Structure 1
Amino acid sequence: MDKKLILVIFLPIIIIVIYSIIFRIDLLNVFLNLNPYFVIAFFITYLAQLGIVSIRDSKIAGVDFLTAFKARFFANSISLIIPGAMGPDLARAVIYLRKGLTIDRAFSLSLLESFYDVNVIAFMFLVLIWFRFSPLEIILILTALGNIFMWFLGIGYVYGTSNYNLNRVEQKVFSIKYLKPLEEAYLNGKVEMKEKLKNPLLTFSSSILTLVGYLVQSLPFYLISRSFLQAIIINTTYQVALLVPIPSAAGVAELSLTALVPPLVVLQIRVLELISYSLGFVYVKEISIDEIRKEVKEVWKTI
């Protein structure tokens, strides 16, 4: 196994151990002091949130609910190792391939799903964090603002330039020999995203479903804070920490939660989150490398 992959896999565990040493926490107590109701609620609401967002994904990608759920479940596990577009977004696209979508269409629609994931949680965080602001959250505020800016800049560009012709800048980019084969896939992807964005009902419902999903996912934290507002703040803070391009948000997640809950609870949340995300690896055997290679060859003829 690649040494970098081994490091990435063990990175969150290493950070948890270091965190426990700094705050003098016996790791055994992390498990012994777990509230069973909190554990049950955590996993139930995690699956419920996946289900709610999968309804949205099924509408965006044009696949059935079970396929969307499987894609979301598997993609979350991949995000532990590879954050960003080349991780969970590509993982969902790979699952969509089995339903007849081409790799360029599947990937562009998967990116559109992430547009809602990222921006809804970023806006929620920026609105709510001021009710419980801490200097430790400054890096997350910048992360949320940066993600919103980059996503709207990118989506705005796609929407404004989406047609089956390249503009001058794009012509120069795709004049490069090794990028030329991607031209058609790039144009198709932009058109596909614009068609979905032009549907106001889909855009509105996607935003609402994403919001509801995050609210449901916040419910277990009420058992910790005894305040629904505080529960939402805890969840939004954690979710924005996951936007930091570090595998599993190792280190950043622990630091951000420390401003909101006791160190022991920080570790409990992290352990439960890592376990819940890891459950998606049950689908890894269904991924066919040959199938992916075939689709990529269709997009990139020179491979």
Structure 2
Amino acid sequence: MKQYLELLRDVMENGTFKADRTGTGTKSVFGRQYRVDLAEGFPLLTTKKVHFKSVVNELLWFLSGSTNIKDLDARIWDEWALENGELGPVYGKQWTAWPTKDGGTINQVDYVVDLLKNNPTSRRILFHAWNVEYLPDESKTPHENAAAGKMALPPCHLLYQFQVLDNKLNLMCTVRSNDLFLGHPFNVAQAALWVHILCNQIDGLEVGELIMSIGDAHIYSNHFEQVETQLQRDPTPLPKLKIVRKPASIYDYKLEDFELVDYNPQAAIKGKVAI
């Protein structure tokens, strides 16, 4: 993942210091993109250890449609949830049950799977979570927004657009705002996981290219030291991802269905999340 290290270096050297809603402050750049050939390996960072089980569990939680952290086997969203575990209509709700004006819902994941199976040349194979009606009020706290039926936090990885070329499935993941030290390693791995899952579900598809397209790419000021440590490390070969079975439905995957092969990362680097 040399591209990731280059992005970190770009932000540290060229970023503008700016205030943010957490009060921590960031170095930020705007509009960055890089590409990963998924046939060459699974893009899980090797310059620091990333907890793969949490990457998988969070994506399966999104796919389940749940918006409650009590259903998530990973402590990723705890700081933003209400006491009852609710986060408001975040990712999973918008992906699988986008509310309509007539009181119904639209499952965007089903829409993507159907197009890939039946109309793979379409230029409309995408889903997103940017439902303006439920975006949080920026003058209120995440807890206040969740209690009011809004999203505790607005989606960061907001758009997934797929394209099939020569029977290879490609994905461009658009991220409006990206915490490069803590958030991005999860985002790129989950985007790659999407491609692998869909190729596992749909006969004839092979993994292609992943394009990460980022709006505000930033590093929080309390992560500068950790990033410098990471930039001193050389990446090792990427691991491979093996999916051990093909469930009847995209919603039936379990953690044990995913096997990471030859993942040999360097030591973990801890950093405090900005809330």
Normalized against structure 2, the TM-score is what? 0.30
Please state which structure has a larger fraction of its residues in strand: 2
Q: Which has the larger radius of gyration?
A: 1
- Structure (1/2) with the larger helix percentage: 1
